[in-house]
Amino acid sequence: MLQMRKLIVVIMLIMSSVCAMAQATTDLGVQVAAATYWGDIENVNYSKSITPVVGILGRYNFNRRLAIRGQLFTGNLKAEGLFTNANIWQSGAPRVNDPITNIEVPYPRNNPDFNYYFNRSFQSVEALFEFNFRDYKLGRTKKDNWTPFVSVGLGGFFSRASRVGSFILEPSETVAGSGVYAPIYLDGVNQLSNNSDVLTLTIPVGVGLKFNITKRLGGIIEVIARKTFADNIDNLDDPQRFILDPNGTPPITYPDKVSGMQLNNNDWYATLAVSVCYQLWSSKGNCAIYDKIKK
CA distance 93 to 114: 11
- Sequence spans of domains, the chain: 27-290
pLDDT tens column, 86-124? 667 777 766 666 566 666 655 555 555 567 889 999 999
Give backbone dihedrals phi and psi of 289, rounded to 5 degrees, phi first: -65, -45
Strands (DSSP E) along the chain, which ranges? 25-38, 51-61, 66-81, 88-90, 96-97, 104-105, 116-132, 146-159, 166-168, 198-212, 217-228, 268-282
Digit-coded pLDDT (tens) for 248-262: 554 455 555 555 444
What average pLDDT does the chain have? 76
CATH number of the domain located at residue range(s) 27-290 in this protein: 2.40.160.20
For 160, other C-beta atoms within 10 Å of its C-beta total 13
Q: How confident is the model at residue 10 (pLDDT cuts 50, 70, 90)?
A: very low
Is the pLDDT assigned to residue 42 strictly greater than 90? no
262 φ, ψ to 5°? -75, -20
Query: Which of 127-131, 160-164, 285-289 shows the lowest mean pLDDT across its residues?
Result: 285-289
Most confident of 36-45, 92-101, 250-259, 277-286: 36-45
Out of 132-146, 173-187, 237-251, 270-284, least confident range: 173-187
Average pLDDT of the residues in 225-237: 86
pLDDT at 223: 98
**112-126, 176-190, 255-269: least confidently modelled range:** 176-190
pLDDT of residue 224 exceeding 80: yes
- Per-residue pLDDT at 243: 52
Q: What distances in angstroms separate CA 189 from CA 74, 139, 186, 194, one per listed residue? A: 27, 56, 9, 11
Q: Is the pLDDT of residue 18 over 60?
A: no
Amino acid at 166: S
81 and 116 Cβ atoms separated by less than 8 Å:
yes
Helix, strand, or coil (residue 259) = coil
